[in-house]
Structure 1
Amino acid sequence: MAGGAPARAALRLRLARFRSWSALQLEIPAGASVALTGPNGAGKTNLLEALSLLAPGRGLRGASPEEFARRPERAGWAVEVLWRAPEIEADSAELRVGADSEGRRVARLDGREVGRSALGAPARLVWLTPALDRLFLESPGDRRRFWDRLTLAFVPEHGERALAYERAMRERNRLLEEASPDSRWLGALEEEMARAGTALSLARVETLRRLSAAAEEASEDFPAARLSLTGLPEEALAEGFAPEEAEAAFRRRLAEGRPRDAAARRALIGPHRMDLEAVYAAKETPAALCSTGEQKALLVGMILAHARALAEFDDAPPVLLLDEISAHFDAGRRAALFQALADLGAQVWMTGAEARLFESAPPETLRLTVRETLEGSVLEGA
């Protein structure tokens, strides 16, 4: 589909043996978003997770392929989506993600097997789950993974570059444990770390620039966070260093730090040490010191800014997956959220335990109930 999925494209979804879902076929008309309600454990989040596998990466739970298979069958699972343009039936894209005969995750776009980096082609996906509510209080690793997921939506190759960097770093760590490591081999590994690491950092910094620009549209209900990235070479790139200068400086620091890294038995500098810092801009308060409600509002503001940036980047709004998004908001903030989502023009999938949470959602929202049965999760109201 040229230029990505069109605004609020019609969608046909099929699941087979995926977690709590034995089977599901669902048609979502163009212009509609979806509100899924039902008790905890009914399978609402499982449905969002299935959709998230249509993006590069490991989905909204970061699970392994064997965890997706429905129990007790443990048979092959599949997620299929057909996107159709609202006015041009021929303008469509069919994406299938499932398990092969050996249980590995395989993706096919219009019948052709593709790598994970091609998964973002039909539509960009953005998601937010309750697990992220403590993002500003958790470890740097949690924030790094969050930022890399945002970056993946812009740069599908970001994950492959991260793997290349980590492979070179592990091999360098192993080599530094030797009594007399080969300096030429160390140099080659450090060159690979510098090249892949600078590409990683450059993509992260570009994501920062895009989100910062999109955050200028922030509202009072979902205020902007002033964001910055710490670590090498992110800070150098953010300060305006040319990529080749940042790469050379990183390679030099790696070579100079061999004794220190050997003693620590790990690399002490690099993009694997990056952290995300956020400040509630209007109050000049670090996000970690804000109230729980303020932190959630800042986080939602970041996701909305990310969605706006993606829409500008791809000339089409993304698909948003928002798990339990309005559970802790009052009626006024829920209404503001639904208005902000409507303004995006994106297709939004939302979950919540109670139907009242979506009373102020746009009238075209498709309201469905998920129920758990002995045969698995079922959908009512479709």
Structure 2
Amino acid sequence: MPLLLHKLNLTHFRGYDALRLDFAGAQIVVLTGLNGAGKTNILEAISLLAPGKGLRGADLLDMKNRLASAEDLWAVAAEVETASGLPMRIGTGLDREFKRRLIRINGRDARSQNELASIISAVWLTPQMDRLFLDGASGRRKFFDRLAFAFDEEHAARLNRYDKSLRERLKVLQGEMGVDPVWLSNLEAQLAADAVCIAATRRQLLEQMARYVEKLYAGKTLFPAPEISVSGWAESETGLRAAVDIEEDLRARFRDSRRADMLAGKSHEGVHRSDFLVTHRDRGMPAAQCSTGEQKGLLVSIVLAHALMMQGEQGFTPILLLDEVAAHLDDARRDELFRYLLSLNGQIFLTGTDPEIFAALRPAAMFCAVEPGRVGIANKGSTRQQAMP
């Protein structure tokens, strides 16, 4: 069964004072409107239902509607049907006292946002990601780690714990928390244990995706074929040696780098320094050196291959949030993208300024006209999936 978002309610969120949307089981939802109308705000709200900071990675205080009163707090609530067919109610918003993000699942407070991982997963492409291959490694790690969230529910929790331990270790080294040798060793042991699991999940993701890239290109797609690898000491050792030996060596590497880390104010060892490398396979060219159109095509290929992988290995597709993805594709590639999306047994949200760009998705898609502060339903679409020709 597909993972489906049935209803979405926004309160004092971004440009919406109050918005209630019922997607009526539609698997493809097209949001169209002028730039600045609020299309991406809806995608951001959906992304906040999954673990993480959302597709913008914005500060929680910045998500509040600017016209709301000082006492008002923003909130996003949804009714979801899981891939196993279970109805779930999810809510997230800003805590008044601690200015942190709150999560509620079926009316109860969640201990952490990691509990969302077993309910919903989402993958997105936004215009800001067009520089993914040109900017630093951090953005690429976040992108590929999010792909890993979908098939390994514990990956997000491990990354959060790893980042927290990394920050605490640095504070200990710099004397902010007092130098306790036992505590420092325990922190490094936890870092090493989590790093081994993180590295293994990343390697598993790329190995599985490589098989589905081949399946995607068996149909002679117009999109470029990506070759993806990960550079990092722990990832390179994974599969060659026993996990316990890698973990022991990581503890030693953390221990040996203490002085350098203290002086530099940063940690030189660990999976937070790894990078994902993407190459245009047919041209043998790093993605960073490809044209803007080729880079966009490589991103689309990665998301499609991941969707096929999830469908084949896990039996469902994450919710796809595709912000202005179709606008910069030529007609042939746009039509091919739409054919693949129609063939997926999952829910996809697309945005654009011109509804005619998405004409090939009729009558399957629900079309929504977005204006500042409101959304109108143009047609309700179909809940049935179509086979890929």
Report how many aligned residue pairs link the two structures: 370
TM-score, normalisation: structure 1: 0.89
SS at match of 1:269: coil
Superposed counterparts of 1:76-87, under 5 Å: 76-84=73-81
Q: Could you tell me whether the CA contact under 8 Å between 2:17 and 2:68 is conserved in 1?
A: no
Kindly state the Cα deviation for residue 117 of structure 1 after the two structures are TM-superposed.
1.1
Amino acid in structure 2 at the alignment position of 1:206: Q
**Counterparts in 2 of 1:191 and 1:145: CA distance versus 1, 3 Å:** same
- The one of 188, 192, 199 equivalent to 1:190 is 188
Task: Kindly state the Cα deviation for residue 309 of structure 1 after the two structures are TM-superposed.
Answer: 2.1
Look up the SS of the partner of 1:7 in the other structure: coil
User: How many angstroms apart in 2 are the aligned matches of 1:170 and 1:96?
Assistant: 29
Moved more, 59-68 or 181-190: 181-190
Mapping of 1:88-237 within 5 angstroms? 91-102=86-97, 103-114=99-110, 115-177=112-174, 183-219=181-217, 220-237=221-238
The structural deviation recorded for 1:122 is 3.0
Measure the CA separation in 2 of the matches of 1:326 and 1:287: 20
Residues 171-204 of structure 1 show CA distances to partners (whole Å, capped at 9, x for unaligned) of 33344446x9655444333212211222222222
Q: Sequence identity, in percent?
A: 37
**Counterpart residue type for residue 363 of structure 2:** P
Contact kept, 8 Å, 2:366 with 2:377, in 1: the verdict is no
Once residues 320 and 167 of structure 1 are traced to their aligned partners in structure 2, the CA distance between those partners, rounded to angstroms, is: 29
Deviates more, 1:102-111 or 1:346-355: 102-111
The question of whether the paired residues in 1 share the 8 Å contact of 2:3 and 2:81 is answered with no
Q: Deviations over 1:281-340 (max 9, x none)?
A: 122211111111111101111111122222234322221110001110111111000011
More deviation in 299-308 or 63-72? 63-72
Query: Cα distance 1:11–1:255, how it changes in 2: closer, same or farther (>3 A)?
Result: same
The residue identity in structure 2 corresponding to 1:104 is R
Find the residue that maps to 1:309 and give its secondary structure. Answer: helix
Say whether residues 1:240 and 2:236 are aligned partners.
no
What is the Cα-based RMSD across aligned positions, in Å? 2.4
Task: Please say if residues 368 and 375 of structure 2, whose CA atoms lie closer than 8 Å, have aligned partners that are also in contact.
Answer: no
Q: Which residue matches 2:45?
A: 50
Q: 1:11 to 1:231 in 2, by over 3 A?
A: same
CA distance in 1, matches of 2:214, 2:273: 28
After superposition, what is the alpha-carbon deviation per residue over 1:35-83, rounded to whole angstroms, capped at 9, x for unaligned?
A: 1111110000000111111100111011232222211215122222213
Q: Which moved more, 1:329-338 or 1:66-75?
A: 66-75
Contact residue 12 and residue 75 of structure 2 kept, 8 A: yes
* Aligned-partner SS, 1:79: strand
Shift of 1:87: 12
CA distance 1:379–1:68, change in 2 (3 Å): farther
Letter in 1 for 2:109: E
Rounded to whole Å, the distance in 1 between the matches of 2:276 and 2:116 is: 26
Would the aligned equivalents of 1:323 and 1:350 in 2 still touch at CA under 8 Å? yes
Amino acid at match of 2:147: L
Q: TM-score, normalised by structure 2?
A: 0.87
Distance 1:363 1:270, change over 3 A: same
**CA distance in 2 between partners of 1:33 and 1:215 (Å):** 23
> 1:338 touches 1:362 (CA, 8 Å); kept in 2?
no
SS at match of 2:138: helix
CA distance in 2, matches of 1:167, 1:83: 30
User: Given that residues 9 and 29 in structure 1 are in contact (C-alpha distance below 8 angstroms), is that contact kept between their aligned partners in structure 2?
Assistant: no
Residue pair 1:232, 1:250 contacting (<8 A) in 2 also: no
> CA separation in 2, counterparts of 1:14 and 1:262?
47
- Are the aligned partners of 2:311 and 2:345 in contact in 1 as well (CA < 8 Å)? no
CA apart distance, 1:371: 0.9
CA contact (8 A) 1:224 1:298 kept: yes
Q: Quick check: 1:302 aligned with 2:302? A: yes
Q: Quote the Cα distance in structure 1 between the aligned partners of 2:268 and 2:4.
A: 46
Task: Answer yes or no: is the 8 Å Cα contact 2:4–2:319 preserved in 1.
Answer: no
2:385 corresponds in structure 1 to none
Unaligned runs of 5+ in 1: 1-5
**Ranges in structure 2 where 5+ consecutive residues have no aligned partner:** 380-389
